[in-house]
Chains A and B, each alone.
Chain A
């Protein structure tokens, strides 16, 4: 009976319209947040495709410059780079200053036919690496030297070298089982060490050993006081595509990995689109809030006769408020749950689709999204409750004048 009285003059189309508006508003915001968090997680992932804050630079090599000795970076040049705006840190590549060669060990499991080659090694500070550092450590006295190689090198071997030489292709796991023997030349005395590939890097196109090892070996095996300047630097920047940095690199005749710059721009574009979407979603949510607020006010207005008369008969405003609030709470809860379900469905679809492109998104909804849904729900309820309370009081019997005499 009360429902018949209090909701008798409602227009279903308006109810559906404002509920749909609210649903879209909440859904857009939740989905944008979920997508932002998912992509942010990818950005934090130590992969250069989506983690473009690292740039490797070297000096440009030209016909003339190749006559003038190695192109290295002086301490001042390094400092000039480090002082640029937005640069987090600059680190040198350390190279081996002693001859080195490596061979697979035919007698060892996975050794196969055996390969031997002259080698070079480089190292960078651990913070600049994109691999799990647990296995990639070395301290004096360690038997095995861990090695990182670019994942592209393995592809080069598997799809270029191996087929041409009639050798078997190897998986990353198999290769990790293979021990290599390294020979270092320390002032004419050979030093043998065993090595093993422990991981593959996508960030740095070089054969890497732990920085601690090269620091030690350059001292111990060469015993030279000469300061060796690095020929390559790795830069961590807040935004490697920022105009000041690009201009500086160009001006100084430095080269960087173009692919990384593209990634940086892509990442920036993603962030910008994310920010824009977030802003638009907030706007839509705000509009849907207002729409719903107006709908609630209009609903009260439509049943103003009933609300006023019931109060004339002695029904407390709080009892009327409760009736409207219950209906509204059910409606807003349904809308919020539906928006969450929609977000979840779209996220699952997106996660599957992204996985086909090699991007691993988180499964399920982020806890921050659930929290945001809860916050929106509470905010929505509070704003609407305020509107209903105000509306009912406005329609109460306490009027300052009346037409009847």
Chain B
């Protein structure tokens, strides 16, 4: 799956954006490639990812997924895109604090049937070092633990592109490395593309293209 941006400029940046690789130009995120988008705070990293997610519509230009213009997508098509082709890990995590970590992850099955979900949850949790947190309510987990639950949730669902918005901000280097390895493994399995946004130019996994906003 390729994602093509055509002349995208978020409304808040109209008239103020400087020339660079993305805003107001044509750009294609290619299938199977790993991208790192770096910028200082307030330059529109999250805005770009939210535009891809469909939760922001205040922008100029068009986005194409393969031959389909996302502008024409119905609510149902967006739901299907999010549950089967485009996985997101949000900066604000969006976990359910009243459910335990396990239920937060099992919830995916209520949206879309998934193969050997329980088995994969245990495997990923072990690799990320949070197997003991699975039965604890997310509301009482540390931010770092919550971030790892959110990463695992992103990896568990079906996708062709994985989009992560500053997913390692609360992880130490060791845990970043564990997460990086797991992400690479799953991307490899699924032969999927990857977009990572970060304040840092360093990433705990190999990157094919770097974009500076």
List the interface of chain A (C-beta within 8 A of B): 1-2, 4-5, 8, 306, 309-319, 393, 396-402, 404-405
List the interface of chain B (C-beta within 8 A of A): 41-47, 50, 53-58, 75-76, 78-84, 88, 90-92, 94, 96, 98-99, 103, 106-108, 110-112, 153, 157
Q: Please determine whether A405 and B44 come into contact, CB atoms closer than 8 angstroms.
A: yes
Question: Known contacts A4-B99, A309-B96, A312-B53: does B91 contact A404 (CB below 8 Å)?
Answer: yes
Determine which of A5, A312, A318 lies in contact with B90 in the assembled complex, contact meaning CB atoms within 8 Å.
A312
Question: Known contacts A1-B110, A309-B94, A313-B111: does B58 contact A400 (CB below 8 Å)?
Answer: yes
Give the residues in chain A near B54, CB-CB below 8 Å.
397-398
Top 3 nearest A-B pairs (CB, nearest first) are: A314-B83, A314-B82, A397-B55
Q: Please determine whether A5 and B99 come into contact, CB atoms closer than 8 angstroms.
A: yes
CA distance A314 to B84 in the complex (A): 8
Q: Please determine whether B96 and A5 come into contact, CB atoms closer than 8 angstroms.
A: yes
Determine which of A1, A316, A400, A402 lies in contact with B79 in the assembled complex, contact meaning CB atoms within 8 Å.
A316
Determine which of B42, B107, B110, B111 lies in contact with A405 in the assembled complex, contact meaning CB atoms within 8 Å.
B42
Give the residues in chain A near B112, CB-CB below 8 Å.
314
Nearest CB on B from A184, distance (A) = 91
Question: Known contacts A314-B80, A317-B79: does B98 contact A4 (CB below 8 Å)?
Answer: yes
Nearest CB on B from A55, distance (A) = 69
Q: Please determine whether B106 and A314 come into contact, CB atoms closer than 8 angstroms.
A: no
CA distance A399 to B94 in the complex (A): 16
Q: Please determine whether B75 and A312 come into contact, CB atoms closer than 8 angstroms.
A: no
Task: Name 27 A/B residue pairs within 8 A (Cβ), A-sorted.
Answer: A4-B98, A309-B96, A311-B79, A312-B88, A313-B82, A313-B94, A313-B108, A314-B79, A314-B80, A315-B79, A316-B76, A316-B79, A316-B80, A317-B79, A319-B111, A398-B54, A398-B55, A399-B55, A399-B56, A400-B57, A400-B58, A401-B58, A404-B46, A404-B47, A404-B91, A404-B92, A405-B43
Give the residues in chain A near B84, CB-CB below 8 Å.
314
Determine which of A2, A315, A401, A405 lies in contact with B46 in the assembled complex, contact meaning CB atoms within 8 Å.
A405
Q: Which residue of A lies closest to B76 (CB)?
A: A316
Query: How many A-B residue pairs lie within 8 Å, measured between CB atoms?
Result: 90
Q: Please determine whether B96 and A306 come into contact, CB atoms closer than 8 angstroms.
A: yes
A-B contacts besides A2-B110, A399-B57, 8 pairs, CB < 8 Å = A8-B98, A312-B82, A312-B88, A313-B82, A313-B157, A400-B57, A400-B58, A402-B50
Q: Which residue of A lies closest to B96 (CB)?
A: A5
Give the residues in chain B near A310, CB-CB below 8 Å.
107, 111
CA distance A122 to B82 in the complex (A): 91
Question: Known contacts A313-B83, A313-B111: does B75 contact A405 (CB below 8 Å)?
Answer: no
CA distance A4 to B90 in the complex (A): 23
Give the residues in chain A near B56, CB-CB below 8 Å.
399-402
Q: Please determine whether A315 and B111 come into contact, CB atoms closer than 8 angstroms.
A: yes
CA distance A140 to B33 in the complex (A): 111
Q: Please determine whether B76 and A318 come into contact, CB atoms closer than 8 angstroms.
A: yes
CA distance A310 to B110 in the complex (A): 10
CA distance A2 to B79 in the complex (A): 18
Q: Please determine whether A397 and B98 come into contact, CB atoms closer than 8 angstroms.
A: no
Q: Which residue of A lies closest to B90 (CB)?
A: A312
Determine which of B45, B94, B110, B157 lies in contact with A312 in the assembled complex, contact meaning CB atoms within 8 Å.
B94
CA distance A1 to B50 in the complex (A): 27
Q: Please determine whether A405 and B96 come into contact, CB atoms closer than 8 angstroms.
A: no
Determine which of A1, A396, A398 lies in contact with B99 in the assembled complex, contact meaning CB atoms within 8 Å.
A1
Give the residues in chain B near A5, CB-CB below 8 Å.
96, 98-99, 107
Nearest CB on B from A373, distance (A) = 35
Q: Please determine whether A405 and B83 come into contact, CB atoms closer than 8 angstroms.
A: no
Give the residues in chain B near A315, CB-CB below 8 Å.
79, 83, 110-111
Q: Which residue of B lies closest to A396 (CB)?
A: B75
Give the residues in chain A near B94, CB-CB below 8 Å.
309, 312-313
Give the residues in chain B near A311, CB-CB below 8 Å.
79
Nearest CB on A from B199, distance (A) = 12
Q: Which residue of A lies closest to B107 (CB)?
A: A1
Nearest CB on B from A309, distance (A) = 5
Give the residues in chain B near A402, CB-CB below 8 Å.
46-47, 50, 55-56
CA distance A198 to B5 in the complex (A): 97
Give the residues in chain B near A399, CB-CB below 8 Å.
55-57
Q: Please determine whether B111 and A1 come into contact, CB atoms closer than 8 angstroms.
A: no
CA distance A212 to B212 in the complex (A): 110
Q: Which residue of A lies closest to B85 (CB)?
A: A314
Nearest CB on B from A51, distance (A) = 61
Q: Please determine whether A404 and B98 come into contact, CB atoms closer than 8 angstroms.
A: no
Give the residues in chain B near A309, CB-CB below 8 Å.
94, 96
Q: Which residue of A lies closest to B79 (CB)?
A: A316
Nearest CB on A from B57, distance (A) = 6
CA distance A8 to B50 in the complex (A): 27
Give the residues in chain B near A8, CB-CB below 8 Å.
98
Nearest CB on B from A204, distance (A) = 74
Q: Which residue of A lies closest to B50 (CB)?
A: A402
